[in-house]
Chains A and B, each alone.
Chain A
Amino acid sequence: MTLDQLKIGQFAELDKILDSPLTLNFLEIGLSPGKKIQIIQKAPFKGPVAVLLENQTIAIRLQEAKLLKVKI
């Protein structure tokens, strides 16, 4: 499953980054495979989600979250 399908508060591990022009951006900001990840907020009307990643919080859109495969 991908990150956008996670429920708020559900823990998961970042498994794989699906190929896209944003791969490098994900890796650089710290979204690298193997990390524990959790969604802490979802903005209304399919707006961005806020994810907690170890000790940093990052905001991404659903469209980006769909590129991140996670396993529970």
Chain B
Amino acid sequence: MEALIAKQTKTIAIIGNPNVGKSSIFNQLTGLKQKVGNYPGITVDKTVGALKNKEKQFHILDLPGTYSLYPKSEDELIAHRVLSGKADAKPDYILMVLDACNLERSFLLASQVMDLGIPVALVVNMKDLAEKKGIKVNTFKLFRETGAPIILTDARKNDGMDQIKSMIFEEKFAAPKTFLNLDGLLPQDLSGKIKSRFSLETDYQAFQYLVFAGYDLTAPAADKVWLTRQLVEFDCDIRSLQIAETNARNKEIELLLEKVVSKDPLPQRNLTQKLDNFLMHPVMGYFFFLALMLLIFQAIFAWAEVPMDLIDEGFAMVGSWIAETLPSGAFTDLIAEGIIPGIGGVVIFIPQIALLFGFLAFLEDTGYMSRVVYLMDRVMRPFGLHGKSVVPLISGMACAIPGIMASRSISNSKERLITILVTPWMSCSARLPVYIILIGLTVPDDLVWGMNLQAIVLLAMYLLSIGATLGGAFLLKLFLKTNEQSYLLTDLPVYRMPRWKAVLLTMFHKSKVFVLEAGKVILSISIVLWILASYGPSNLMDAVEQEKETALAQADEAESGEIEEIYASKELEASYIGILGKSIEPVIRPLGYDWKIGIALITSFAAREVFVGTIATIYSVGGDPENDLTIREKLAREVDPETGEKVFNKATAFSLMVFYAFAMQCMSTLAIVYRETKTWKWPVLQTIFMTGFAYLAAFITYQIFSS
């Protein structure tokens, strides 16, 4: 039964140039919330969604944008693989999205797609912008010339989506006329030979087999050898064939568009160009970019503090309320001391994460991000990076995972690898709570030269991370070799008003994913931690228990509270987690950490944000649960039982911050690096190098501040 349904479900691939609105159309057809923006290369992977009515169901594939069927970067390769049926079965239909303002460029890809022989429909998007520019498309003539159904749309305003839907349900896709006759390019005999060997239908399919013989790694070796021999036999050169094909297509397209498009004389200097005169100015442009970055920084640290404090206090209150209300016992302790502080440690990030992702979505949706690529290209090059590396690096300030994914649009493999390897050093939002708690504990809230001292230290941590990222990239540049040429060739899209709804949706969606994903890890780690901290080997625990009884029996009423507290700490030391922490203490002592911090380091290897939850759990166990102190207040009161000094002094706190800035402590990042580089070599090297460097840097920091 299931196989039968699967057979009936047809697949439609959405394809088009970068930044023509493929994802916007996809979202409206499928009701999904694929990220959209105004930056070429937002979609770097294929996404599948479904469109159905009562009778029919379709799979819709959203593909990364490309300018032709010949891929130049990792993201463009995906479209090629899908359309040639190398990933899965070929799609049944193609929805080709064109840019009404740049039909000429759109048609190069469209004409190639039409010659593949798959039934297609043309969607001419951004008709609103075209109308403003005085471009008119005669759809009827275009239909007559190409033989493919045509729909005019404005996907940003949802205009034309119903026509697309009904066109899909009626399956009005049509196999268009052959756009380019290959007679003059590809020898007929050769085409015939290839078609019969691989049982192909069109000349262009044969042409594609020939072109991809060289760099398709999945094709059987025998086929490749055969195709290469044909190339020699017929004296063909792939690259000149491709150039000849592209030139011939451009000529045909020019002839076609003369017939179907009418243009009013261009109004000179429109809004985008006026804005660019300022935003891309050799001096002002950079000042604006810097000011924008400072504004984002300000928002994350100053504006987010209000809701964060509220969340922190709220969770402390809920914790103590539960401790008071529920009957006391192991279960209540687990909730009040383990789970509530653990969850609170994640939820507290929401304001900052939402703001960061909101700003990024805003920059991408207005079209400004491409200008950043232009402005920063010269700055990044000495470090072995590309202008396009800026996008992964800035995204890395929110989270390394989308940052590393965004590196797919970098075509040069060396620049891409360096970007992937250094992005985790950008200060991601998971490090923030660690910094904020430690700075709050050790740096006074004073004003220095009119600036808040705590803010200055935080800024220093960010500058440290940016410096390390660029320095690391520079070192990698010296070691990695490539003979690929690096180039910059990118479209600067028209500025558009951001779609506030999409920006807000991104903020909501990213926060939700973060809380759910991190929440799962933190919840389970909190529970495990709590159990390990509450129980220990019975001989050790019993000994402590007995000692405590004797001490209590001898003491009077006034002293008993104090004794309870001393023994709570001794019990933690005798627990399983205490034993684990103690065993790594010799290694981390030179960095200024005690065994309790050691426990937090161990759990943080899953994810950095676990730090706060772990510390909260460890310091709560055995404490007085009816005391509704916030995490920060609990830590401030923590003293070393032997020396009587504060555990979180300046040297230890700074050393910890430096450790968290540099160490590789994120399983998800490692998984993504593996996926993107397709080998374990890089994630393993990354972990060893980053963590080793973190250890050294933290050691030096501790020595400087403790002397």
Contact = CB atoms under 8 A, between A and B. Distances in A.
Contact of A24 (B246, B379, B387): B246
A44 B283 CA distance: 8
Interface in B228-285: 239, 242-243, 246-247, 250, 266, 272-273, 276-277, 280-283
B634 to A, nearest CB: 51
**Could you tell me the dominant secondary structure of chain A's interface residues?**
mixed
B378 A50 contact: no
B243 A24 contact: yes
Contacts of B159: none
A71 interface: no
A55 B67 contact: no
A23 B485 CA distance: 13
Given A27-B247, A29-B67, A58-B492, A50 B105 contact: no
Contact of B266 (A45, A48, A55, A58): A55
Interface string A23-58: 111111110100000001111111110101011111
Contacts of B492: 50, 56-59
B383 to A, nearest CB: 14
B375 interface: yes
B467 to A, nearest CB: 20
A55 B101 contact: yes
Contact of B104 (A22, A30, A43): A30
Nearest to A20: B485
A64 B276 contact: no
A5 interface: no
A33 to B, nearest CB: 9
B282 A22 contact: no
B378 A24 contact: no
Interface string B281-302: 1110000000000000000000
A48 B488 contact: yes
Interface residues of A, number: 32
A23 B105 CA distance: 15
Contacts of B377: 43, 47-48, 59, 61
A59 B488 contact: yes
B102 A48 contact: no
B489 A60 contact: yes
A29 B378 contact: no
Contacts of B282: 41-44
Nearest to B246: A27
Given A26-B489, A29-B489, A59 B246 contact: no
Interface string B182-206: 0000000000000000000000000
B519 to A, nearest CB: 41
A30 B102 contact: yes
Contacts of B276: 40-41, 50, 57
B46 interface: no
Interface centre among B133, B246, B282, B487 (most CB of A within 10 A): B487
B373 interface: yes
Nearest to A45: B378
Contacts of A22: 485, 487, 489
B102 A43 contact: no
Nearest to A59: B374
Contacts of A61: 377, 487-488
Contacts of B104: 30
16 contacts: A21-B239, A22-B489, A25-B72, A25-B489, A27-B247, A28-B105, A29-B67, A29-B491, A40-B276, A45-B378, A48-B387, A50-B280, A55-B101, A55-B102, A56-B491, A58-B492
Interface of A: 21-30, 32, 40-48, 50, 52, 54-61, 63-64
